[in-house]
Amino acid sequence: MAINPVGAMQKAAQPQFTGVVDTVVGSKAFEKVAEFAGSNSATFNAASSLVMAGVLRPLTIMALPAKNEQEQKNKGNAAAHAIASAVIGFAITSTVMKPISAGLKKVMGNTDKYLPKLSEKMKANPTLEKNVNKVLSFGPDILLAVPRALLTSKLSGYVNKALFGKKKDAAPAPAQQAPVVAQAQESQRPVLDSFKGGTK
């Protein structure tokens, strides 16, 4: 009977892998992280995004090979933008989104007091409550989208200068065109030169 060496290795590795996972999941540190994530989901998600988008993504971008100097500049700009976006996202979530979400949760938890008309409609139509909660969950993101984009764009320039010692490349200035009158005079110069010297 033939023995599959790959299958045998996989079976041997499974107990080791599950043992490592069981050790990590059963640790007190993981228990504290899970408890924090359950009670502070918005902050935990923002912190996770900060690590992935603000650390891992820039490292991945800078690890990619660059064929020329322009690609190297583009890599620096992309990495700086990723870091700035992650930092701004974490700051907004921690300082602005958290109290807004807490306020909305309090209001929706007692609509009879704060939104009596809406409460009556939701009692008559249970689906309405789910739809309202979905709309309100996107509300803060929509309101903060423009300020977040402006802050990210501004911060990315400082990050680029701090990490790579250069400012974000500005758009090239448009070339100035010669005035129409000057162009017309230039085109008529050969004709004027033919009359140079006056009449004989």
Show the domain range for 133.
Answer: 23-166
Counts of helices then strands in the chain (DSSP H, E): 11, 0
State the chain's mean pLDDT as an integer.
75
Do the domain assignments include residue 31? Answer: yes
Do the domain assignments include residue 57? Answer: yes
Do the domain assignments include residue 157? Answer: yes
Structure tokens at 72: 């190297």
Q: Which amino acid is at 59?
A: L
Number of neighbouring beta carbons within 10 Å of residue 25: 10
Do the domain assignments include residue 104? Answer: yes
- For residue 182, pLDDT over 70 is answered with no
Structure tokens at 98: 């958290």
Do the domain assignments include residue 17? Answer: no
Can you tell me whether residue 20 is helix, strand or coil? Answer: helix
Residue with structure tokens 């290795």?
A: 9
Number of neighbouring beta carbons within 10 Å of residue 29: 8
Average the pLDDT over 64-88 and give the result.
89
What is the C-alpha separation between 36 and 47, in angstroms, rounded?
12
Q: How confident is the model at residue 134 (pLDDT cuts 50, 70, 90)?
A: confident
User: What is the per-residue pLDDT for 180?
Assistant: 47
Number of domains forming the structure of the chain: 1
